[in-house]
Amino acid sequence: MEKTWRWFGRKDKITLDMLRQIGVEGIVTALHDVPNGEIWTEEAILDLKSYIESYGLRWSVVESLPVCEAIKYAGPERDELIEKYKVSLANLGKCGIRTVCYNFMPVIDWIRTDLRHPWADGSSSLYFDRVRFAYFDLKILAREGAEADYSPEVLAKVEALDRTITEAEKDELIDSIIVKTQGFVNGNIREGDKAPVSIFRRLLAQYEGIDREQLRENMRYFLAAVMPACEQYGVDMCVHPDDPPFQVLGLPRIVTSEEDIAWFLEAVDNPHNGLTFCAGSLSAGAHNDVVKMARRFASRTHFVHLRSCEILPDGNFIEASHLGGRADLVELIRIFERENPSLPMRVDHGRTMLGDEKMGYNAGYSFHGRMLALGQVDGMMAVVKNELQKQIIL
Ligand code: DNO
């Protein structure tokens, strides 16, 4: 697979010079300064593309071309927004950038409660704690009817937490769940926004009455509408699975399981309609057999995120070492190398270590932690390629 790296543009503290030195071949990025819903012009695309190429690298994947909320909840402006999305796809295709990652998660993209969960060795990683997440939902967001979504056990733990949690801890929880993980991925809430919780409540209200079936229908509508542009310009769309892969905050999530993925691939059965196989997101769901899913969906996978989660007995999950956890990255690499040796792959997230904590990197996107992970994945890939070559010779 092609070794790619998520880079946040010219403002990223991790420079392209640094990436060249650690074996990165392709760049995964976006026009982060263009507001959601606006057209990506050829001029702006080419400007960033030539900057990347001036370092001997290539712009391999767009992550993400964001899908506006009004497309997801089918607001009155949806068709106009889809038309603009198609123009951006066409412009990307004309500039030779042909893999586009997006997601179809309502309101909130990826979710973690802890950005610095400590490891015994002094490093830290991202973490999802079910009780603290329920606390956010019940006590901070105070979402109507939220109690019905949690077990009596979790509700009791939330009450216990309510007796001890400090104001600073509440602020940190808000910051982790809806600010720090969202802003830099072109999310709905940005760092510095005043009153993020009220913004969030307003966004949630847009989805009243939208259930799984309706959201599926809206995704099918969107995909069917953009496919002609993808065909004409040779662009592959690849949806990112919902992270974590289960329902949250009363919102439907529809890319969470083998059945969900099979559904959207069949609903718009076009090779340009594909998947970002994010092993980390999928492995955070106990219902997902990640290796089985990779076998089934490899031929429709246009982009791979390698990362692994461990689910703990209480249902919490931690981002594990790239060598451990539930995802079995070695086997995934075997599957994808056989399918398509030039598939773009990036290590997804990494631990915070060796001074990363002082650098102000985006949550999950450390330098040393991701570099270590890339080294590990690079080693696994070398062994798998060696195995495959021997199989061909024998
Ligand atoms: C988080 C990322 C996601 C992903 C989007 C794709 O680290 O994996 O934010 O980029 O969901 O649209």
Digit-coded pLDDT (tens) for 340-358: 999 999 999 999 999 999 9
Catalytic status, residue 305: yes
Tokens of 79: 């068709």
In this structure, what DSSP letter does residue 271 have? T
Tell me the per-residue pLDDT of 23-79, one tens digit each, with 9 for 90 and over.
Answer: 999 999 999 999 999 999 999 999 999 999 999 999 999 999 999 999 999 999 999
- Residue 250 backbone class (left: φ over 0; alpha: ψ -120 to 50; beta: rest): left
In this structure, the residue with its CA closest to atom 1 of ligand 1 is 110
Q: What percent of the chain has pLDDT over 90?
A: 96
**In this structure, what token pair is assigned to residue 287?**
């219902």
Respond yes or no: is residue 348 known to be catalytic. yes
Catalytic residue among 349, 356, 361, 368: 349
**Which one is catalytic: 73, 207, 361, 365?**
365
Given a cut of 90, whether residue 248 has pLDDT beyond it is: yes
Q: pLDDT of 210-227, one tens digit each?
A: 999 999 999 999 999 999
Task: Give the 3-state secondary structure of residue 59.
Answer: strand
Strands annotated E in the chain? 2-6, 26-29, 58-63, 99-103, 114-118, 124-128, 236-240, 273-278, 301-306, 309-311, 317-319, 344-347
Domain ranges of the chain: 2-110+212-393, 128-205
Choice among 117, 129, 240, 328 that is catalytic: 240
Task: Using the predicted structure, report yes or no on whether residue 391 has a pLDDT greater than 90.
Answer: no
pLDDT at res. 121:
97
Instruction: Determine whether the shortest distance from the Cβ of 110 to ligand 1 is under 6 A.
Output: yes
β-pairing verdict for 124-128 and 114-118: antiparallel
Closest listed residue to residue 216, CA positions, set 182, 189, 242, 244: 242
With a 6 Å cutoff on the Cβ, whether 103 touches ligand 1 is yes
If one counts every other C-beta atom within 10 angstroms of the C-beta of residue 310, the result is 16
> What's the CA gap between 339 and 219, in Å, rounded?
27
Give the pair of three-digit tokens for residue 309: 């989660």
State the pLDDT at residue 394: 64
137 lines ligand 1 (CB under 6 A): no
Q: Which atom of ligand 1 is nearest to the CA of 365?
A: 7
Q: Give the HSE-up count for residue 245: Cα atoms under 13 Å, Cβ half-sphere.
A: 25
d(CA 376, CA 168): 37
- DSSP-assigned letters across all residues of 159-193: HHHHHH--HHHHHHHHIIIIIITTGGGT-SS-TT-
Rounded distance between C-alpha atoms, residue 132 and residue 161, angstroms: 8
Cα of 276 to ligand 1 centre, how many Å? 10
- Residue 50 CA to its chain's centroid (Å): 26
**Torsional class of 37: left (φ above 0), alpha (ψ -120 to 50), beta (otherwise):** left
Tell me how far apart the terminal alpha carbons of the chain are, to the nearest angstrom: 23
- How many A from CA of 30 to the centre of ligand 1? 12
Does the structure show a pLDDT above 70 at 182? yes
Rounded Cα distance between 34 and 122, Å, is 38
Ligand 1 within 6 A of CB of 99? no
The answer, as to whether pTM is greater than 0.85, is yes
Model pLDDT, residue 186: 82
pLDDT digits (tens, 9 = 90+) for 96-123: 999 999 999 999 999 999 999 999 999 9
Q: Is 303 in the pocket of ligand 1 (CB under 6 A)?
A: no
Homologous superfamily assigned to 2-110+212-393: Divalent-metal-dependent TIM barrel enzymes (3.20.20.150)
Which residues have CB under 8 Å from 126's CB, separation 6+? 112, 114, 115, 117, 318, 319, 349, 363, 364
Q: Report the pLDDT value the prediction gives residue 392, as an integer from 0 to 100.
A: 76
Of 119, 130, 113, whose CA–CA distance to 315 is shortest? 130
Ligand 1 atom having least distance to the Cα of 66:
12
Q: How confident is the model at residue 191 (pLDDT cuts 50, 70, 90)?
A: confident
* pLDDT tens-digit map of 133-155: 999 999 999 999 999 999 999 99
Q: For residue 330, give the H/E element and its range.
A: helix 329-339
Per the annotation, the verdict on 349 as an active-site residue is yes
DSSP state of 99: E
Neighbours of 284 (CB within 10 A): 32
Average pLDDT over the chain, rounded to whole?
97
Given the residues 12, 137, 328, 348, select the one marked as catalytic: 348
pLDDT per residue as tens digits for the range 19-36: 999 999 999 999 999 999
Assess whether 240 carries a catalytic annotation.
Answer: yes
What is the per-residue pLDDT for 190? Answer: 85
Does the CB atom of residue 187 touch ligand 1 within 6 A? no
Active site residue 32: no
Q: What angle do CA 21, 62, 348 make, to 5 degrees?
A: 55
Beta-sheet strand order (sheet of 124-128): 114-118, 124-128, 317-319, 309-311
